[in-house]
Amino acid sequence: DGQEQERQNSDTILQTGETDQNEPSSQDPPATLFNGQYQVVDDFAARAPRLLAVAPFGGDPSDWSFVPEGLSPDALVRRSAYGQMAALPFQDLELHEVDARLAEGEVTSASQVEALLKKNPARLHDLLGADAVLTGTVTHFDRVYLVLGSQVAVGCELTLHALPSGEVLWRAVHV
């Protein structure tokens, strides 16, 4: 049956667990460097973006058991994701430049970016001038107490969209 075949095809590109930590190349999708579940389009190497923007991240604060004073978990995770992407062999727009370009188009939140991706991704391309945009949702932000200290546990969902089409190039989930 067609739906079963589509599910099997989808399952073949959904990979879980540890990833190879070799030196990244411009042919590697960023999700393969991510420890979690990820899904990558088959022809990513042929469609890898040249210029990448990291949009504001969202999340439901009720899912966060820990919020550092004066800091926003979604902004912290966005900055961290940007740092990881900046180390890859793609050109990237600085976060302040992304924010300024979005503000010029009166797009100031993660939900507005997501809405624009659904309705008019070409407009997002015009605003950012990028080949792709990374969006994210912080699914949890918790402090875990250990015997000798504590650490912060973060969960997020990341999606890389091609621009101007809005097509998903890869998706990653880390919980």
The stretch 120-127 carries a mean pLDDT of: 97
How do the residues of the chain divide into helix, strand and coil, expressed in percent and rounded to 5? 35, 30, 30
- Smallest Cα–Cα separation from 137: which of 158, 113, 118? 158
**Confidence band, pLDDT 50/70/90 cuts, at residue 17:** very low
Residue 50 has a pLDDT of 92
Contact 169, 160 (CB under 8 A): yes
Query: Is the predicted pLDDT of residue 22 greater than 80, yes or no?
Result: no
User: What SS3 class is residue 156?
Assistant: strand
24 burial type by CB count under 10 A (0-12 exposed, 13-18 middle, 19+ buried): middle
Highest mean pLDDT among 2-16, 27-41, 71-85, 109-123: 109-123
Residue 102 has a pLDDT of 97
Residue 78 has a pLDDT of 93
| CA–CA separation, 22 and 16 (whole Å) | 17
Residue 6 has a pLDDT of 36
The stretch 85-102 carries a mean pLDDT of: 92
**Confidence band, pLDDT 50/70/90 cuts, at residue 36:** low
| DSSP 8-state secondary structure symbol assigned to residue 33 | G
The stretch 109-116 carries a mean pLDDT of: 96
| CA–CA separation, 117 and 162 (whole Å) | 10
Higher-pLDDT residue of 87, 27:
87
Place of tokens 């912290």: 76
Q: What is the dihedral of CA 87, 90, 96, 97, to 10 degrees?
A: 160
Least confident of 28-37, 44-53, 82-91, 139-148: 28-37
Residue 106 has a pLDDT of 96
Predicted TM-score (pTM) of the model is: 0.76
